A and B are shown apart, each in its own frame.
Chain A
Amino acid sequence: MTGPDAAAVLAAEEVTLAYGATAVVHDVSLAVDRGGVGLIGESGSGKTTLARALLGLMRPRSGVVRYGSRDLAALDRAGRAEFRRAVQPVFQDGSEALDPRMTAGASITEALTTHHRMSRAGRKDRVAALLADVGLDPALAARRPHEMSGGQRQRVAIARALAVEPRLLVLDEPTSALDVTVQAKILDLLEGLAAEHGLGYLLITHNLGVVGRLCRTSSVMFAGRVVESGPTAELLTRPAHPYTRALRDAVPRLGGEPPRAAGRTEAAAAASGCPFLPRCPLAADRCREEAPRPRDVEGRKVACHRAEEVLDRAPVAHPRADASSPAPRVPHDGSETPDAPRQ
């Protein structure tokens, strides 16, 4: 791609998205280039809606989604086909993302043959190779989704996405429907594949640990707005927005909803002031009167009037800000006593 924004493969520019009269994403800008970009937020924050717009499944009410330098909504037929080959999704739940009536092989074949003609033998070989790429036995090609495990289904969905040889993946909570142990394996796989194929990806999640491991830059969404964006390591170690901070403080409870972040997003309360006001521990008069605009603070963009104070607060003792492997220490089955295994 050539053009002014040659670096970004896919970008949202001040995108507002609405279902009917209800806007759920407000003026969000986000760019995905060849590396990994994280998009963090709780349920209902609008991150999946934003993903749908980036995938061209939904038109922005205002603002532009760009593929390279071109407006997605204005692409001609050929441009659209090129976009479809370049950008592929991996959705949250593999059992939803695969047609229950199709075998894994048929689903992947559909991807192979949508843009190219292929001989029968060629298809079979490609399907087997793709399944092997995602760590599956090629014999699974004959299975239907209900005959596979959640992890296998998600691998098949990834294989299908890779079948068109995309440049960029939109990963919408690709592991949240899976067991913790399987989550780690799928993330390993995605990380390896992205490196191997030089893929860019947007990783959407509510899990900070995952982003810390896979994404160099990240954006944090709250109530349909990006409240903070910047280098992931910075965000995790020194959050500048109280919401990022609340999320980070909730990290050890992997898989669970962050304590303060649970529940519905109070959109009504944000009529004039800051959308995070109802939950903010630092709310001041100014926050009630004026919605903060994103501004540059120490190498990141933050939408908070009191970002400097948040930054200056001594970091809470938090050894697991980079909690990368969402695995064994979570006593999710109650079999471990929480106090015992302290080394």
Chain B
Amino acid sequence: MTAPALPELRRTPLRRLAGVDRLAVAGGVLLGIIVLAALLAPWIAPYPEDGGSATHPAESLLPPSGAHWFGTDQVGRDVFSRVLFGARTSLLIAVAVLAVSGAVGVVLGVVAGYAGGWVRDVIMRVTDVFLAFPALLLSLALAVVLQPSVTTVIVAIAITWWPWYARLTASVAASVAARGFVDAARCLGVPAPLIVLRHVLPNSLTPVLVQLSLDGGGVILTAATLSYLGLGAHEPTPEWGLMVHRGQSLFTTDWWVVTFPGLAILVTAFAFNVLGEGLRARLSR
């Protein structure tokens, strides 16, 4: 019974690897296109001035056509151009939130995980306090207190996001800290901060990177939610959540105003997820 199992054993990982890579690559490519669109928006948008405060009352609410692929909104701006510019806002928010919360979370997590003892207890209890609040509620409360703006959105989301990275990193770092090469470094007399930087941090990063890419979509959705509720970006900033909010009452009559920014949110969140899933499957192989 053991003999026929062999070829199967040999083939399966390969096939899985191939499939996994395709998934990660697909997510990466999709995300790459979105990033390119964001970067090149001023040049590829058919009506770059519509990304700003321009208005064309005479052309309001035109349905999709050759001139306006995604139609126009209430004040006559080209929805396609605004979706392209909106990618800049959304990606900026996503990158800023992930960078800030990732950095804070990883630093605290690695220190907690390596140090253990009361240091870990203190950091983890603070983390727990932040996690105790429903994330969106905390973000909402903060966004209400602060002036609505893109910066507010970034701060409000980052504050609810970092504890997850702190907790994840702490558990990974604690297991890394217990490994032989960390003991070996301690026996060499390498100072603790260097041990953390050289050995614990690099060997703890992989799961965090996967989580970061998985979370990109979530951040964009949350940012869209805040803007949708009027607590984030405000007119005339092109932001997908805000565009959905402004267009929702027109859904039955002028569907394009809300549908295309909504689709943009969906596709971007999806791209982040596919990339993250692919990375996770590949790295945990």
Docked CA distance A341–B120 (Å): 60
A107 and B202 alpha carbons, distance in the complex (Å): 14
Closest to B205 in A: A101
Q: Is the CB of A132 closer than 8 A to any CB of chain B?
A: no
Query: Within 8 Å CB of A137, what residues of B?
Result: none
Within 32-53 of A, Cβ neighbours of B (below 8 Å) are at 52
Cβ of A97 < 8 Å from any Cβ of B?
yes
User: Are B188 and A110 touching (Cβ within 8 A)?
Assistant: yes
Q: Does B7 interact with chain A (Cβ within 8 Å)?
A: no
B190 surroundings in chain A (CB, below 8 A):
110, 114
Please name the residue on chain A nearest to B203 by beta carbon: A101
Chain B, 163-215, CB within 8 A of any chain A CB: 179-181, 183-190, 198-199, 202-203
CB <8 Å contact, B203 and A99: yes
A96 at the interface (CB under 8 A from B): yes
Q: Within the assembled complex, what's the spacing in Å between the Cα atoms of A283 and B183?
A: 41
A128 to B203, CA, bound (A): 26
Q: Find out whether the CB atom of A99 lies under 8 angstroms from the CB atom of B189.
A: no
Closest 6 CB pairs of A and B: A84-B189, A96-B180, A97-B180, A99-B181, A91-B180, A114-B188
Contacts of B187 in A (CB 8 A): 55-57, 84, 87-89
A residues with CB within 8 A of B: 52, 55-57, 80-81, 84-85, 87-89, 91-93, 96-101, 107, 110-111, 114-115, 157, 160, 164
Task: With A96-B179, A101-B203 as known contacts, state yes or no: A114 contacts B186, CB within 8 Å.
Answer: no
**A111 contact from B179, B183, B186, B188, Cβ within 8 A:** B188
Q: What is B's interface to A at a CB cutoff of 8 Å?
A: 179-181, 183-190, 198-199, 202-203
Closest-CB distance, A82 to chain B (whole angstroms):
9
Question: How near does chain B come to A168, taking the closest CB pair, in angstroms?
Answer: 12
Pairs across A and B, CB under 8 Å, 5 listed: A57-B186, A84-B187, A84-B189, A89-B187, A98-B181
Which residue of B181, B198, B202, B203 is within 8 Å of A97 (Cβ)?
Answer: B181
Contact A157 B189 (CB under 8 A): no
A170–B138 CA distance with the chains assembled, in angstroms: 53
In the complex, chain B residues whose CB is within 8 Å of the CB of A99: 181, 185, 198-199, 203
Known: A99-B203, A100-B203, A101-B202. A160 touches B184 (CB 8 A): yes
B181 in contact with A80 (CB, 8 Å):
no
CA of A81 to CA of B185, assembled, Å: 13
B184 touches A80 (CB 8 A): no
Residue of B nearest to A160 (CB): B184
Inter-subunit contact B183/A57 (CB<8 Å): yes
Query: A residues within 8 A CB of B179?
Result: 96
Q: Which residues of B contact A114 (CB under 8 A)?
A: 188-190
- Evaluate contact between A110 and B189: CB separation under 8 angstroms: no
Contact B184 A157 (CB under 8 A): yes
- State whether A85 touches B189 (Cβ < 8 A): yes
Contacts of B189 in A (CB 8 A): 80-81, 84-85, 114-115
The answer for the CA separation of A87 and B188 in the assembled complex, in Å, is 9
Given the interface pairs A99-B203, A100-B203, A101-B203, the reply to whether A110 lies near B185 with Cβ below 8 Å is yes
B187 → chain A, closest Cβ, in Å? 5
Can you name 6 extra interface pairs (CB under 8 A) apart from A99-B199, A114-B190, A160-B188? A87-B187, A88-B188, A91-B180, A96-B179, A96-B181, A99-B203
